Amino acid sequence: MSKIAVVTGGVRGIGRGISIGLKQAGYTVIATYQSNDAFAKELHTDFGIDILKFDVSDFNSCEMAINTIKNRYGSVQVLVNNAGITKDAALHKMSTDQWQAVIRTNLDSVFNMSRLVIEDMRAASFGRIINISSVNAQKGQAGQTNYCASKAGVLGFTKALALETSGKGITVNAIAPGYIDTDMVRAIPEAILDKIISLIPMQRLGTVDEIAKMVQYLASDEAAYITGSTISLNGGQYMS
């Protein structure tokens, strides 16, 4: 029987690639989303990936969703916390709504979803939690105090939970992508994007497939000795 994998924010961009990659690797994939109905329908129609609409920033919504998944498919064995948003502004111009929305979606969601699957993973002595952070959590980025704080929080969460579960057959790791070739990145004005690429030692954007392949590896049995790690996929833009 195939393992059950949940990918939050899994219907477009990096999340879409992760969902497709896990599906092609033989997992039963549930891609979650909040508002992109057209993308979700396309993913389900074209790739046979099941979709579930709910708000990952709200614990009660997550609890209902996880119960639905457990009743329909069984316990979640692989969780990819990918959901994320940006609401950029310099701190002296940032509203409390901009701060809180990003923290809730990017960081609270990681707690919500992980908390709701961790007990079953501990009982089964198996689990894979893979958190998608960002190069900007490592190096900082002006105009993104909210985003950088949320994604840096994910890295601390990853290490702490890895320590808690290391004797339970559960691994918890993070991936910190750099600039990846998605519709969102391609929407950056050409002159600005060219400048960004010029600062990447490999002189190119990363691909969604490169992120998806790393997720597949971290989810696999072969990665059982990797936990608490942050994998930097950024073309050398930031080296730690």
Catalytic residues: 147
Quick one: which H or E segment has residue 208?
A: helix 208-219
∠ CA 105-24-41 to the nearest 5 degrees?
Answer: 55
Taking the CA atoms of 233, 168, 113 and 78 in sequence, report the sign of the dihedral they define. Answer: positive
Per-position DSSP letters for 1-61, written without gaps between them: -PPEEEETT-SSHHHHHHHHHHHHTT-EEEEEESS-HHHHHHHHHHH--EEEE--TT-HHH
Burial class of 42 by CB neighbour count within 10 A (0 to 12, 13 to 18, 19+): middle
Query: How many Cα atoms sit within 13 Å of 210 on the Cβ side?
Result: 17
Check: CB of residue 44 under 8 Å from CB of residue 16.
Answer: no
Other Cβ atoms less than 10 A from the Cβ of 85: the count is 15
Check: CB of residue 56 under 8 Å from CB of residue 33.
Answer: no
CA distances from 74 to 4, 22, 121 (A): 7, 17, 12
